[in-house]
Amino acid sequence: MKCKLVHRRPANPLVRCGRRTADGNLRAPSALNVGCATRRACVALVLALGTENALAVSADEYLFTPTVTQGEREIDWLFGTGSSGINTNAQLNTGLGFGLGVTQHWFTELDIKYRRQSPVGTSLDAFEWENTLQIGEPGQWPVDIGMVFNVEKPYASSSSPKTEGWSIRFGPLLQKDIGKVQVNFNLLIGRFFQGSEFSATQLRYQSQIKYRYSQPLEVGIQAFGRLSSGGQTWTPYSEQVHRVGPVVLGRLVLPGERSLLYNIAFLIGTTAHSPDRTLRFQAEYEF
């Protein structure tokens, strides 16, 4: 799942108030400075936790589409950074996947995902098995319909402990063509297992409206949201995550039945729990 929740340990705020000795070791604040240190620690903690919430969504989430092409093989590379306030590029998500159109109606992909989150550093994040089922044929019904079914296993180690457990995510993928305009809306239902952090069913959405100007250049607007928190399926709006912004995408046709697809999106967070800015890049090599 590209819209995975992540968790990281907050930085120790007291470190920010300490003083380093000449040899670089941290020295505890003196008794006279404890009041100041406590206030600064509280401010730092609030800032750290605020950033924590705002960055608690994957920066490389991308839109699922309901159509499948049999025999299509692809190598998929994703890259996204999330920033909040002055905390630029505080979170980076990247992933590499290999996908195959097995039948006229089933596409499957295996992904390996990495995450870099300061000050923790870069680590292997998760393995994912992603499946798209195309229901019917494009154009057969007023709305094109597909289903997505993903399974994700987080990678935990001593340096990168995980609390969310493995998870499944599924939901309908809807697409409608109106002339050269294409509209997508996906509702994703998620459930975590063997974890302590997310006890409630998780709801997310993805949407896009794009203008199909030409094959190598299309423009549109995307929106991604998370309506749930760890223990609540439907949280108050202020605690939800909503991101919206422009996207540029296209397909470059290469000789020999190959092509390179790209999309670049810049998303703005609209709630306090959303990253202020998300920059995402996706490239797919089809062959």
Partner 1 sequence: MLVKSGGMVLALLTLTIAPAISAEPEFVIQIKNHQFIPAELRIPTGVKVQIVLDNQDDTPEEFESYSLDREKHVPPKSRVTLFIGPLNAGRYVYQGEDRVDGPAALGVIEAR
For partner 1 (CB under 8 A), the number of binding residues is 36
For partner 1, which residue of 70, 88, 89, 122 counts as binding (CB under 8 A)?
Answer: 70
Binding mask 113-142 for partner 1 (x = CB under 8 A): ----------------------xxxxxxxx
* Secondary structure class of 39 (helix, strand, coil): helix
- Identify whether the C-beta of residue 247 lies closer than 8 Å to the C-beta of residue 261: no
**Could you tell me the two tokens for 53?**
């919430």
Where does this chain touch partner 1 (CB under 8 A) — which range of 39-47, 73-81, 164-172, 264-272? Answer: 164-172
- CA–CA gap between residue 155 and residue 106 (Å, rounded): 27
Please say which residue, 125 or 130, places its beta carbon nearer to partner 1: 130
Residue 281's Cβ-count burial label (10 Å; 0-12, 13-18, 19+) is middle
84-113 binders of partner 1 (CB under 8 A): 101, 104
Q: Closest separation between CB of residue 256 and partner 1, Å?
A: 6
Q: Looking at this protein, which amino acid is placed at residue 261?
A: L
Where does this chain touch partner 1 (CB under 8 A) — which range of 2-10, 13-21, 185-193, 222-230? Answer: 185-193
Residue 183's beta-bridge partner residues? Answer: 176, 209
Q: Closest separation between CB of residue 242 and partner 1, Å?
A: 21
Nearest to 178 by CA among 210, 214, 207: 210
Please say which residue, 91 or 202, places its beta carbon nearer to partner 1: 202
Q: How many CA atoms lie within 13 A of 240 on its CB side?
A: 17
Rg (CA), the chain: 21
- Identify whether the C-beta of residue 6 lies closer than 8 Å to the C-beta of residue 275: no
- CA–CA gap between residue 135 and residue 120 (Å, rounded): 42
Where does this chain touch partner 1 (CB under 8 A) — which range of 67-75, 77-85, 109-117, 241-249? Answer: 67-75
Q: Closest separation between CB of residue 168 and partner 1, Å?
A: 9
Q: Closest separation between CB of residue 191 and partner 1, Å?
A: 5
If binding is defined by CB under 8 A, does position 225 make contact with partner 1?
no
4-63 binders of partner 1 (CB under 8 A): none
For partner 1, which residue of 77, 129, 155, 170 counts as binding (CB under 8 A)?
Answer: 170
- CA dist 20 → 15, 17, 28, 138, 151 (Å): 10, 10, 9, 64, 46
- CA dist 210 → 69, 247, 248 (Å): 21, 8, 9
Please say which residue, 266 or 285, places its beta carbon nearer to partner 1: 285
Residues near partner 1, by CB under 8 A = 67, 69-72, 101, 104, 135-143, 145, 147, 170-172, 177, 179, 182, 187, 189, 191, 200-201, 212, 214-215, 233, 255-257
